Amino acid sequence: MLIIGPPGSGKGTQAARISERLDIVAISTGDIFRANVKGGTPLGIEAKAYMDAGDFVPDSVTNNMVRERLAEPDVAGGFLLDGYPRTTAQVEELDAILAAGNETLDIVLQLTADNEELVRRLLSRAAEEGRTDDNETVIRHRLDLYTQQTSAVVNEYADRGILVAVDGIGGIDEVTDRVMTAMARVVE
Ligand code: B4P
């Protein structure tokens, strides 16, 4: 399954909870990039400038990284992708990866929240964690990019009939309850 939503909508937060409750591996492209930046790997060096500017890391780089990650044995029992795909080229790549393994996507969970709440959350995270892409100018750019590029991804999965939208406003536990209820409804 996938979890999709604008920056600050709670993707990473809810992905960790879903992963624990369903005992499936959660894969966050943002976390993988940040680990590589921290480790000073060639991938991290390449990704850093894009991330700091709030831009997407190029599709070719991101797609290769995801393809390699999804070839690892721990994903055999099911996986939750957090933050991927974000562009239509990434949707096509994921389709190809899944088709090669005779797999299909069951659910795409979309978290929604208004921009002012998203900015507020990310600024509050900036105060706590100091992420280099959590300053107001970059946050607004990331939100614009989501509207410009990732909305098409949301529409594509809606057209396929596998999109489940969940209101991301409210406390973290409240949103988790909504997510689990929405997923149970689909899986039944
Ligand atoms: P991500 O790591 O995916 O960053 P994000 O969109 O900000 O989401 P994140 O999961 O961290 O935050 P969340 O909403 O959970 O991407 C970072 C960068 O990596 C991108 O800008 C891009 O450069 C690159 N990248 C990643 N994937 C890529 C791809 N596929 N293609 C190209 N480039 C890619 O939470 C945000 C904050 O809100 C947290 O502090 C959390 O505690 C808080 N929060 C969550 N739920 C809340 C709630 N209900 N109430 C109050 N606060 C809440």
Residue 80 sits in a domain of what CATH number? Answer: 3.40.50.300
Task: Let me know if 125 is a catalytic residue.
Answer: yes
Q: Give the whole-angstrom CA distance, residue 82 versus residue 80.
A: 6
133 lines ligand 1 (CB under 6 A): yes
What is the pTM (predicted TM-score) of this model? Answer: 0.93
Q: Give the whole-angstrom CA distance, residue 7 versus residue 115.
A: 9
| Number of separate domains in the chain | 1
Both structure tokens of 65: 């990284």
86 lines ligand 1 (CB under 6 A): yes
* pLDDT beyond 90 at 185: no
Q: Whose CA is nearest to atom 44 of ligand 1?
A: 10
Q: What is the pLDDT of residue 63?
A: 98
* pLDDT beyond 80 at 130: yes
- Sign of the Cα pseudo-torsion (74, 92, 162, 100, in order): negative
- Return the percentage of the chain with pLDDT > 70, whole number: 99
Q: Give the whole-angstrom CA distance, residue 2 versus residue 164.
A: 10
Q: Whose CA is nearest to atom 26 of ligand 1?
A: 30
Over range 167-175, report the average pLDDT.
Answer: 97
Our measurement of the distance from residue 42's CA atom to the centroid of its chain's CA atoms, rounded to an integer in Å, reads 22
Q: What is the pLDDT of residue 187?
A: 65
Task: Let me know if 69 is a catalytic residue.
Answer: no
H helices of 23-114, in order, are 29-39, 42-53, 59-69, 88-100
pLDDT-based confidence at residue 132 (cuts at 50, 70, 90): confident
Task: Let me know if 86 is a catalytic residue.
Answer: yes
Query: Structural domain of residue 159, as residue ranges?
Result: 2-187
What are the pLDDT digits (tens) for 30-75?
999 999 999 999 999 999 999 999 999 999 999 999 999 999 999 9
Q: Ligand 1 mean position to 146 CA, how many Å?
A: 11
Do 132 and 38 contact (CB within 8 A), yes or no? no
What are the pLDDT digits (tens) for 63-107?
999 999 999 999 998 999 999 999 999 999 999 999 999 999 999
* pLDDT beyond 90 at 131: no
Over range 107-124, report the average pLDDT.
Answer: 96
